[in-house]
Amino acid sequence: MTLGERLRQIRKGKDITKQELSVALNVPRERIKLYEVGDEEPSEFYLASFAQYFNISKEDLLSFK
For the chain, the structural domain boundaries read 3-60
**Long-range pairs for 42-48 at CB < 8 Å and ≥24 separation?**
42/3, 42/7
- pLDDT in the model for residue 63: 84
| CATH T-level topology, domain 3-60 | 434 Repressor (Amino-terminal Domain) (1.10.260)
- pLDDT in the model for residue 65: 58
Q: What is the pTM of this model?
A: 0.87
Q: What is the mean pLDDT of the chain?
A: 94
Angle between helices 3-13 and 44-54 (to 10 degrees): 30
Is the model's pLDDT at 50 over the cut of 80? Answer: yes
The vertex-44 CA angle with 21 and 11, nearest 5°, equals: 25
Q: Distance between CA atoms of 49 and 30, rounded to whole angstroms?
A: 17
Q: Distance between CA atoms of 64 and 6, rounded to whole angstroms?
A: 6
